Amino acid sequence: MKAERIVVAMSGGVDSSTAAALLQEAGHDVVGVTLKLTDATGTAASLGGRCCGPRDIEDARATAALLGFPHYVLDETAAFKRAVIDDFVAEHAAGRTPNPCVRCNEKLKFGPLLRFARAVGARRLATGHYARLVKKDPRSLPWLLRAQDLDKDQSYFLFGVPAPLLEDVVFPLGERTKDEVRALARHHRLPNASKPDSQQICFVPDGDHKAFVEAHGGAGRPGQVIDEQGASVGTHEGTHRFTVGQRRGVPLDDGRRRFVLRIEAATGQVVVGPRDALQIRNLRVSDVRWTSGSVPRIWPLRCAVQLRHRALASPAWVTAPDDSGCGVDLDSPAHGVAPGQAAVFYDGDRVLGGGWIAP
């Protein structure tokens, strides 16, 4: 890649800061930008360790100052609330388990950042994501691939980014391991070289998503906890407090563990049972989109399907899409498949597309 102006999305963490340092070292004219997505003033996020907090903006700014390139902040708090927070609350209220990081990448992050890049005279945007983009044909869209470091791979979170946008995106860390990135950060004396990775949802810095949903009007109906035969085994204070596969807070069955099997938001019932009852081989995936840029031509589609972050992708057949989405037939049963989570289709390391697990 020839030297050019590149905008780097900087979260304040070590990954995006190292991506900026690598691009500058390669001779590029780097411009840093941080998206302000939430107002974390007065929360734990303001002390650091959480994406998008005030401390994180300062860490990004400090990295830019050290390396000697300009840094800007884009306030997207209103758009983030509409596209991500409101969706998060509504999904919990409906008895589903959302993935806000996927929604953020899909609906918010890349569009404003690419528009900013073009406004400052840059064609490309770089981020600190662990993923790869490969051009197999100059006339076609790039392929989105898993990262070299499979433990840090973030391609699962990126399937919803519109394929044309990826044509102007760069992932400098896709071929590197996390240990290598930490070492490079220390080599460049970056101020956040030892900063811990963010572990919580950025707009729920204390990790209590149940309280967050309640505070934002998304509490589900209280009701009965019932077994598979319909017998009541307890009560609960709201369906938003549960997710499929959950064990904590579920009454035991003569000392044996029970797990959440289904959440029926309309009636307030939470159905529980043994772990074996969580096994499923057939599911529906709605709102399907194709990261590859086009709908596959051969059906049924043979691929591997990843049903949650850090889960292994399972070999499966995917049926041709109709108005309600695609059917997925897994070779082996999966446990704890939660409606509302992303299901991502892979051909080896390549992301083909994906959608959202239907109830």
State residue 52's pLDDT score. Answer: 55
53 band by pLDDT with thresholds 50, 70 and 90: low
CB-based burial label for 125 (10 Å; 0-12, 13-18, 19+) = buried
Mean pLDDT of 39-44: 57
Cα–Cα distances (Å) from 322 to 82, 250, 304, in that order, read: 28, 37, 20
Q: Which residue has the tokens 């889960």?
A: 311
202 is catalytic: yes
Q: Is the pLDDT of residue 118 over 90?
A: yes
Annotated catalytic residue 303: no
Find the catalytic residue in 101, 104, 303, 326.
104
Residue with tokens 């860390």: 173
Q: Phi first, then psi: what are they for 56, rounded to 5°?
A: -70, -40
- 3-class state of residue 358 by DSSP: coil
Say yes or no to pLDDT of 47 above 90: no
How far lies 94's CA from each of 88, 221, 238, 268, in Å? 10, 10, 11, 10
Rounded average pLDDT over 255-269: 96
What's the CATH number of domain 220-277, 3.40.50.300, 1.10.3720.10, 2.30.30.280, 3.30.70.20? 2.30.30.280
pLDDT over 90 (residue 346): yes
Q: What are phi and psi of 137, to 5 degrees?
A: -145, 125
The closest alpha carbon to 241, from 223, 266, 267, belongs to 223
pLDDT at 46 over 60: no
Q: Which two tokens stand for residue 211?
A: 């309280």
By DSSP bridging, strand 326-334 and strand 280-289 are antiparallel
Joined together, the tokens standing for residue 253 give 């069955």
Report pLDDT digits (tens) over 291-343: 978 899 999 999 999 999 989 999 999 999 999 999 999 999 999 899 999 99
When the candidates are 3.40.50.1370, 3.40.470.10, 3.40.50.620, 3.90.1150.10, the CATH number that belongs to 5-187 is 3.40.50.620
Instruction: State the pLDDT at residue 303.
Output: 98
> How many angstroms separate the CA atoms of 353 and 337, rounded?
18
**Would you say residue 54 has pLDDT above 50?**
yes
Percent of the chain predicted with pLDDT > 90: 85
Question: What count of other Cβ atoms lies within 10 Å of the Cβ of residue 218?
Answer: 20
Specify the pTM.
Answer: 0.94
Marked catalytic residue, from 51, 52, 101, 202: 202
Across all residues in the chain, what is the average pLDDT?
A: 93
The string of DSSP letters for 41-109 reads TTSGGGGSSSTTSHHHHHHHHHHHHHHT--EEEEE-HHHHIIIIIHHHHHHHHTT----HHHHHIIIII
User: What CATH fold (topology level) applies to the domain 279-357?
Assistant: Elongation Factor Tu (Ef-tu); domain 3 (2.40.30)
Please state the domain extents for the chain. 5-187, 220-277, 279-357
